[in-house]
Amino acid sequence: MASHRRPKQTSRTRVTVLTATAAAAVALSAQAAQAAPAKQSVKSVKAKVDALYEQAEQATEKLNSATEKQQRLQQQVEVIQDEVAREQGELNDLQDDLGALASAQYRSGGIDPTLQLFLSADPDSYLDKASTLEALSTRQAEGLRQIAEKKRSLDQRKAEAAGKLSELGRTRAELGKKKKQVQGRLAEAQRLLNSLTAAQRAAVAAADAPAAGGSEHVDLGNATPASGRAAAALAAAETRINMPYVFSHSGPTSFDCSGLTMWAYAQADVRLPRTSQDQANAGTRLSMSQLQPGDLVLFYGDLHHIGLYAGNGMVLHAPHSGAVVRYESINNMPFQFGVRV
């Protein structure tokens, strides 16, 4: 018969020792993991944050484009609606005139013209009246023609208004999506930064700072702007140095990249489009060697970033969320071409 002995229990002391040993091993491995690439971790986080900022700026320019389209459509809808109201009023007036004419004819009695002539005591007077009736009839026909034409025009304008309103609705929906994309990228970047210690966040900020070239004591050389408006735009932008980057803002105290260039040139009485891609077509394209202070400079293959050439290889721009308007070396970003407005 098999024996039913109880297994021997491990002593409490042994369990305690084993637990302590395991805990120490886990702690040591965690410390080793943390200690190993603390520097690399900061570098990795910065690279991810920079990528997210770039994606946010790409989305911001699309947001700006959708916003501009919305504003344009809104203006078009308002113009068409005003025209519809005016044409409806004109149609109502025409219909009222025709109704008054029909009422007058009805009150005169619908007697056959030949019988009216036979019964008339004054045939000459009747003939005058008959010519008046013929003129009234012609006027009635013309009134009907005008009403039909006005109604066709009104129907076309109403259909156009309906189409623009539908397009406006789609644009507003697109606008909401683009805004969420920007906010999502920025929130993700902030989460990454929040995962770092205060010292690591300071290291990320320090790694970004040298690229700026500082806001003061920057050597811009002695090149002269190509025009008075370029000089005025650059001078205006320089008054915005150290003001914050805020997506979809175009001044006067916060900016995104194309918002800064648009605002700066507006101070020189030049109206630029809202987005960097549209501003890229606002003048004559230039190579890097042709740049003069105040020229626009475009970066990245999709032209989602823009700034002002400041001279001596430096750009004045609004870089990205969390940064301020500042000077930076033109070589820190993939230059595409310049534009002389």
Q: Which residues are catalytic?
A: 257, 305, 317
The encoded tokens of residue 126 equal 């009747």
Report whether 325 contacts 242 (CB < 8 A): yes
Cβ neighbors of 205 (< 8 A, separation 6 or more) are: none
The secondary structure of 13-63, three-state, reads HHHHHHHHHHHHHHHHHHHHHHHCCHHHHHHHHHHHHHHHHHHHHHHHHHH
- Determine which helix (DSSP H) or strand (DSSP E) holds 114, and give its type and residue range: helix 113-119
Are the CB atoms for 327 and 209 separated by under 8 Å?
no
Whether the CA torsion 69, 75, 76, 81 is positive or negative: it is: positive
Inter-residue contact 324 to 340 (CB < 8 Å): no
Cβ pair 320, 54 in contact under 8 A: yes
Q: Which two tokens stand for residue 331?
A: 């070589």
**Cβ atoms 57, 259 nearer than 8 A:** no
Q: With DSSP H G I counted as helix, E B as strand and the rest as coil, what are the percentages for the chain, rounded to 5? A: 65, 10, 25
Determine if the peptide bond prior to 252 is cis (ω within 30°).
Answer: yes
Task: Quote the DSSP letter at residue 261.
Answer: H
SS3 328: strand
The residue count of the chain comes to 341
Angle at 323 between CA 239 and CA 203, to 5 degrees: 135
Between the two ends of the chain, the Cα-to-Cα distance in Å is 103
